[in-house]
Amino acid sequence: MQAVTSTLRTVPLTTDGGAAWTVRAVDGPVPDRHSALLAAPVAATVPGEVHTDLLAAGVIPDPFDGDNEAQLAWIGKTGWSYRTVFDWEADEHAVQELVADGLDTAARITLNGTELGRTCNQHRSYRFPVTGLLVAERNELVIEFASPVVTANRLRDESGMWPHTNLHPYNAIRKMASNFGWDWGIDVATAGIWRPLRIESWSGVRIDSVRPLAGLDRDHGVLDTKIALAWADGASDDATVTVEVGGTITEMTVPAGTAEVGVTSTIDAVDRWWPRGYGEQPLYDVQVSLAAGAASDAWNGRVGFRTVTMNVAPDEHGGPFVLSVNGKPVYVRGANWIPDDAFVTRLNRSTYEKSITDAVDANMNLLRVWGGGIYESDDFYDVCDELGVLVWQDFLFACAAYSEDEPLWSEVEAEARQAVTRLSRHASLALWNGNNENIWGYVEWGWRAPLAGRPWGEKYYFDLLPGIVAELDPRTPYSPGSPFSYDRYIHPNDERNGTMHIWDVWNQVDYSTYRMYKPRFVSEFGFQGPPAWSTLTSVVHDEPLDPYGEQMLVHQKAFEGNLKLERGLGDHLPKWDGIDDWHWTTQLNQARAVAYGIEHFRSLFPLNTGAIVWQLNDNWPVVSWAAVDGHGIRKPLWFALRHAYADRLLTVQPREDGPVVAAHNDTDVAWSTEVTVTRRSTLDDTIHAGETFALEVPARSNTLNALPASIATPADPTAEYVEVRTADGATAYWYFVEDTALRLLAAPYTTEVTATPEGYDVTVRATALTKDLALFPDRLDAAARVDSSLITLTPGTTHTFHVTGTTSTPHSVTSPLLRSANDLIAR
């Protein structure tokens, strides 16, 4: 078919579109040293945020550095005015509109002195009619943003206090909750034009939105395309709507004034879209064309043909939570996703691709977009479509009660309708989720007394949002919340039903508690650890560097976080001696704690159907639960996740009758191999006992094999361990005592460093058990990256670390560049 060129005229008002913007302060506690901002503006970038504009102008230091967060708190308490002047050339079109894809948040918009409207929702777009207001040549557009902190407090005072976590009443305003700070996030309440802005000029009719919902009918692809149309006053020409997908062209005549039209296309022998690990990810181009008299418009996108279902029907164990794609149950190996930068306008296709690749390389198949963040840009979902990463999308409610009164109700409805309309086309979208922890909070967090019977958000999760999803995206399952037991009479965080969050580990109890749970599905759990050394020291400048230093605690947002890091060592690892040991010990403990939980959960399959770790990423340099830090460096936790989330996992787990070798085969091919188990000395190359057995694990299955008695019974528990190794290279280890009671040699290995074109290699050869060997090349060069970590070596075996991204090759590697559990224990 011949492509249709839109007659709609678009004039971008973005910086890259040629618009020159300025920003200045209009009120608030502007420090005397910055008083010039009240009189003289600075250059601004659109899309952008006031913090990034002030940073680019050299007015403020980096908000992430040192204790600048507190010094710059005035920015979020100040009102800001953005201004641009642009030329307008009149055209023949009947309608002109100012289109704002995203304003953050409480804004007043004026054009040539005429107020166009006011907004108070970061999570939606707006259209303002400007027909007759534009003049030839010079036009002035001003967008004034009220202080987000003052606005949130004012709305709280006007409507009453609804319980919430953290400092600010983020639940009173439709703005990214974590922008006001979180237990991993910096408090930088932003303002600005955060998504594109433009003027659209058109006549007759235009495409307002397109929802192409791709599904399957046996081997046929079915595309149900819903097209919303906007008509100019007096438009009388009927329209022709054409949808092309996969070589199939479907055309329909639409009477003038029709608000929405549905076009169904059938594609023979369509290739199905699958999540990674289950098949390929074919995507089909979709073109929607509109013609009515002299008016024309077009829309282009991509879809993948698949079905997604959610099974929560009660069974003999309680109630499962199973996501199935194309009828095949998916074992979820996932991570929670937060906004990838505290200043979200710095994100783009490249940054999303890098971070989502972190998930793919760690063998993940799902990312949960958490409810305290944003509906991400299409770049995020496009990359997930292409890489086969399922998306669990929260609606934007988190850890708080919410008013159900106006104007909040209408704002929630408007943003939800826009979000579902925009995102529903994505093949990766697997679940809409009503909220994060709010149902749990109402039941258990003491909200009912201060609420005194007032509505708390329940109707959003059980009425409004499921109704919108059923209307606009019926192909995608909906869940009222996370955690949730899918029965209003069961505690929402019950391990036997639905989804569960496990936060007593980290907050109160030792990570060995994970094995006390038998959860059907874990949608949040995690453990803290510091970022990479180079990341940490780039923003923390305490002298001397100390876990409880002033700037260190600025970059530790969790309540009593560093105390919990210390308590969390339990009997697993000794308390550190100095800052270098603190950094390594807590990073190692984080990795071990999370892997401990995941390996236990996977050994329960099929009772357990997945886990979503908290969290994949950071939005600034901070001590947190993330696997990849704020500078993009993969922490030891990331390497532990790559192992624990492997397609085929081998692990030793305790059971009532003794340890078992658990093998979870999350592939479509049976796992048939030979297993060798040996009981060895920790101090030399002595093998006390050894046996072999055949391992047979069907596709998408789990088997448990008892550890032979000759292996499971040590002569000296403090100096022996078990190695389990398959003929195809999978390994697992079992220790009879915790590391603090284990006899290990300090450095039972030799090293060799070899320069390479990309960096250098470090080869380590062990002479005795070397446990959790890790290399930290960023200590020499912050740009350096290593390909592996947490390597356990038995006597006579070697491992080579490949370091890339640096031209600095060390002559030798010693602590703190090269670390292991041995040097902590032997100390």
> Per-residue pLDDT for 827 more than 80?
no
**Residue 1: predicted pLDDT:** 42
Structure tokens that stand for 761 in this block? 């290699």
Q: What is the DSSP string of 144-196?
A: EE--HHHHHHHHHHHH----BSSSS-GGGSBS-GGGB--SSS-B----EE-S-
Q: What are the tens digits of pLDDT across the range 219-255?
A: 899 999 999 999 999 999 999 999 999 999 999 999 9
Within-domain flag for 762: yes
Indicate if 639 and 655 belong to the same structural domain: no
Q: What are the tens digits of pLDDT across the range 163-195?
A: 999 999 999 999 999 999 999 999 999 999 999
Within-domain flag for 573: yes
Indicate if 585 and 567 belong to the same structural domain: yes
Strand-strand pairing, 390-394 and 429-433: parallel
pTM: 0.97
Indicate if 734 and 774 belong to the same structural domain: no
Q: What is the CATH number of the domain that holds 813?
A: 2.60.40
- pLDDT band of 5, cuts 50, 70, 90: confident
Among residues 256, 286, 303, which one ends one of the domains?
A: 303
Within-domain flag for 2: no
Q: What is the DSSP string of 748-770?
A: -EEEEEEEETTEEEEEEEESS-E
Within-domain flag for 3: no
How many domains does the structure of the chain reveal? 5
Enclosing H/E stretch for 802: strand 798-804
Indicate if 569 and 655 belong to the same structural domain: no
Calculate what percentage of the chain has a pLDDT beyond 70. 100
The mean pLDDT of the chain is 97
- For residues 558 and 547, what is the distance between their CA atoms, to the nearest angstrom? 13
Within-domain flag for 1: no
* Cβ density class 214-247: b for 16+ within 10 Å, e for less: bbbeeeebbbebbbebbbeeebeeebebbbbbbe
Spatial contact of 601 and 504, defined as CB atoms under 8 Å apart: no
Measured in residues, the chain has a length of 827
Indicate if 763 and 711 belong to the same structural domain: no
> Per-residue pLDDT for 2 more than 70?
no
Within-domain flag for 667: yes
Among residues 721, 741, 761, which one ends one of the domains?
A: 741
Q: Which domain holds residue 278?
A: 204-303
Q: What is the CATH number of the domain that holds 280?
A: 2.60.40.10
Structure tokens that stand for 354 in this block? 């890098």
Structure tokens that stand for 535 in this block? 């990341």
Torsion region of 100: left, alpha or beta (phi above 0 gives left; psi -120 to 50 gives alpha): beta
Spell out the long-range contacts of 719-723 with Cβ–Cβ below 8 A and sequence spacing 24 or more.
719/681, 719/682, 719/683, 719/743, 720/679, 720/680, 720/681, 720/682, 720/688, 721/679, 721/680, 721/682, 721/769, 722/652, 722/659, 722/677, 722/678, 722/679, 722/680, 723/677, 723/678, 723/680, 723/794
Q: What are the tens digits of pLDDT across the range 19-33?
A: 999 999 999 999 998
Indicate if 470 and 354 belong to the same structural domain: yes
Q: CB within 8 A of 330, min separation 6: which ones?
A: 275, 278, 322, 323, 324, 365, 366, 390, 610
**Residue 3: predicted pLDDT:** 56
3-state secondary structure of 485: coil
Q: What are the tens digits of pLDDT across the range 507-556?
A: 999 999 999 999 999 999 999 999 999 999 999 999 999 999 999 999 99
Structure tokens that stand for 496 in this block? 């036997």
Q: What is the CATH number of the domain that holds 469?
A: 3.20.20.80
What strands, in cross-sheet order, belong to the sheet with 295-303? 248-254, 239-245, 284-292, 295-303
> Per-residue pLDDT for 672 more than 60?
yes
> Per-residue pLDDT for 485 more than 50?
yes
Mean pLDDT of 356-374: 98
CA dihedral of 37, 40, 45, 51, whole degrees rounded to 10: 0
**Residue 137: predicted pLDDT:** 85
Indicate if 318 and 371 belong to the same structural domain: yes
Within-domain flag for 411: yes
Within-domain flag for 641: yes
Indicate if 318 and 465 belong to the same structural domain: yes
Q: CB within 8 A of 625, min separation 6: which ones?
A: 184, 506, 526, 527, 528, 529, 590, 614, 615
Q: What are the tens digits of pLDDT across the range 418-459?
A: 999 999 999 999 999 999 999 999 999 999 999 999 999 999
Indicate if 706 and 724 belong to the same structural domain: yes
Mean pLDDT of 787-795: 98
Torsion region of 765: left, alpha or beta (phi above 0 gives left; psi -120 to 50 gives alpha): beta
Indicate if 762 and 712 belong to the same structural domain: no
Indicate if 295 and 398 belong to the same structural domain: no
Among residues 271, 303, 335, which one ends one of the domains?
A: 303
Indicate if 400 and 494 belong to the same structural domain: yes
Q: What are the tens digits of pLDDT across the range 129-153?
A: 999 999 998 999 999 999 999 999 9
